[in-house]
Amino acid sequence: MILKRTFIALGIALAVAGCKQAAPPPQAVQSAKIAWREGDVDDALAEAKQLGRPVLLYWGAVWCPPCNQLKSTLFKDPSFIAETRHFVPVYLDGDSPGAQQWGQRFGISGYPTVIVLQPDGTEITRISSATMASKLPALLRTAASRTTSIEALLAKAGNDTRSLTEDDWRILAGFDWRNDPKHFEDLAKAGDLLDRLSKNAPEAALRRRFALLSLVVANDEAGDGKLKLAPARQRLLAAILPPILAHPDELMANRQELINDTADLVVAMPNGKQRDKLGQSLLAAMDTLYADTGLSLAERLDTIYPAIALAKAEGKVPAEVLARVRERAAWADKNATDSMTRQAAIPDAASLLEEAGDPKAAMKLLEDGLKRSKAPYYFMLDLAGIAEDMGDKDAAIDWARKAYQAAQGPATRVQWAVDYASMVMRLDPADKHEIEASAAAVIDELAKSPDSYYQRTRIKVTKWGAQLRAWADKRDGGEVLKRLRAQMATVCATEGSEAQTCNQWSREA
């Protein structure tokens, strides 16, 4: 399944909501774009200190579907553009020099991420995908005037919610709870705090929002991999979901969680009648969102996902649901006319087709889209994943190899090489030659970018190293591993402060 990789592992996807907005000032209408400082965070912080302004840091990537959705919607909105003039906006592409180091410093786990910083680099907040464009200017104005760090605010919220101010609640409501490993590496802690906030928020809608977030952020899995809800959490879902779905403002504010996560929560409800009633209400709400032309094309497309998830819980996706998925995918393909919209929507359309039971149509959509994509190597990885799910290991490995070979940017090339090498190990573990060659490709890419062994790259390489170690133990690959360790030691020697961590990539903990 590739849908969740697009929705969640990549972080936020802010979109322009279909709400009436106050007329922007004339100068905002005349502004064509945000005045991004590209790549140099140190310069942006120095400028912010000189001007007495906060920094608005956007971390993204050319290939990232939600990043392209962000750039094609929110970043073109005149009200948002006008508000960025109160900040020093800096765009940090994940492949720019030193970007992975900054990602590690700020605890960035996925693309895209938007963070507000004080001039000294202290984080004020990171902005959630749940924040509608109509509410973002007010949120940014609040963030711009604050001196309280997000660490201090989270500690304050955990100690005594009665001490929280109106601005504190606004920041917490717009915080990106699911994309902050720096403060919440253990999502259970985030869930506990959200549960506390849900009981003490000053408004009913806000209490329901925090409650829904608590349900989707931290959940246990049953033995079959499905979610399980304790009785108290079942009662909570039954209490909060109907009013959220019934109120247009709450439906819009919670749309990301409703689209991506709530169907799984509904499926976990043991009472069949209650489960069916909640499921039907959820589907009706999705139809309302799909009809909202103020939402981005990708978000409107993704509203079909709950129908797939609910149907699969009952067995095979029925013909009528599959027909709707095909219709939505064709609609997205036809209407995604510019490159950014296509990069955002086509991978999701393919994911939906595969999830609904038509992987061949998903592959055709991606293959047809390769020539029109500005980052076809992202589509190729999705093609590799679908081929693997279909049991075609040769095609899967071939697509993964092509994706790596076509990838652009030092960090991306390392990460795509890891995906390729991992797939070879997983699908063709007997081919020691290919496993060593693909592993050597990872090491070679690391050698070309001596400042890249940070955050996302380190996480991926460490996980891959553990897989390689397990393969060597099972497949008598000790000599292969020995040669690769020698190559990696040379690379790690260039990694400075990360050298020791780098050298642990293939060793027992």
- By mean pLDDT, which of 64-68, 72-76, 262-266, 403-407 is the weakest? 72-76
Virtual torsion, Cα 9, 12, 15, 20, nearest 10 deg: 140
pLDDT > 70: what percent of the chain? 89
- Distance from C-alpha of 19 to C-alpha of 289, rounded to nearest angstrom: 12
Q: What is the pLDDT of residue 26?
A: 45
Backbone angles phi, psi at 57, to 5 degrees: -100, 125
pLDDT digit string, tens, across residues 95-133: 988 888 888 888 887 888 899 999 999 999 998 755 666
> How big is the chain, counted in residues?
509
Q: What is the pLDDT of residue 228?
A: 85
Q: Which of 258, 19, 283 is nearest to 132 (CA)?
A: 19
Sequence-separated (6 or more) residues with CB below 8 Å from residue 201: 161, 169, 207, 209, 210
Q: What is the pLDDT of residue 39?
A: 78
Cβ atoms of residues 87 and 54 within 8 Å: yes
- DSSP H helical ranges for 73-186: 78-83, 99-106, 136-144, 150-159, 166-173
H or E element at residue 348: helix 339-356
Q: What is the mean pLDDT of residues 404-410?
A: 96
End-to-end CA distance of the chain: give it in Å, rounded: 30
Given a cut of 60, is residue 68 above it in pLDDT? yes
Domain 1-147 has CATH 3.40.30.10: yes
H or E element at residue 319: helix 319-335
Q: What is the pLDDT of residue 8?
A: 36
- Distance from C-alpha of 225 to C-alpha of 1, rounded to nearest angstrom: 14
CA distances, 34 to each of 25, 84, 86, 372 (Å): 15, 7, 11, 26
- Distance from C-alpha of 113 to C-alpha of 151, rounded to nearest angstrom: 18
- By mean pLDDT, which of 232-246, 309-323, 487-501 is the weakest? 487-501
Q: What is the pLDDT of residue 20?
A: 34
Given a cut of 70, is residue 340 above it in pLDDT? yes
Q: What is the pLDDT of residue 320?
A: 97
- By mean pLDDT, which of 137-146, 182-191, 380-389, 428-437 is the weakest? 182-191
Name the band, by pLDDT with cuts 50, 70 and 90, for residue 178: confident
Cα angle 465-467-468, degrees, rounded to a multiple of 5:
65
**Mean pLDDT of all residues belonging to the chain:** 88
Name the band, by pLDDT with cuts 50, 70 and 90, for residue 14: very low
Domain ranges in the chain are: 1-147, 409-509
Q: Which of 191, 171, 179 is nearest to 66 (CA)?
A: 179
Residue type at position 289: L
Name the band, by pLDDT with cuts 50, 70 and 90, for residue 458: confident
pLDDT top residue among 13 and 221:
221
Q: Residue 343: how many CA atoms within 13 Å on its side-chain side?
A: 22
Q: What is the pLDDT of residue 224?
A: 61
Residue 105 C-alpha from the chain's centroid: 19
Query: Is 336 exposed, middle or buried (CB count within 10 Å of its CB: 0-12, 13-18, 19+)?
Result: buried
Sequence-separated (6 or more) residues with CB below 8 Å from residue 174: 125, 127, 128, 130, 131, 135, 139
Q: What is the pLDDT of residue 133?
A: 61
Given a cut of 60, is residue 473 above it in pLDDT? yes
Q: What is the pLDDT of residue 507?
A: 66
Given a cut of 50, is residue 15 above it in pLDDT? no
Q: Which of 345, 334, 286 is nearest to 73 (CA)?
A: 345
- Distance from C-alpha of 318 to C-alpha of 379, rounded to nearest angstrom: 27
Residue type at position 2: I
Q: What is the pLDDT of residue 138?
A: 83
CA distances, 285 to each of 92, 281, 292 (Å): 36, 6, 11
Given a cut of 60, is residue 436 above it in pLDDT? yes
Q: What is the pLDDT of residue 130?
A: 58
Q: What is the pLDDT of residue 12?
A: 37
Cβ atoms of residues 59 and 94 within 8 Å: yes
Is the preceding peptide bond at 306 cis, omega within 30 degrees of 0?
A: no
pLDDT top residue among 326 and 229:
326
Strand partners for 228: 220
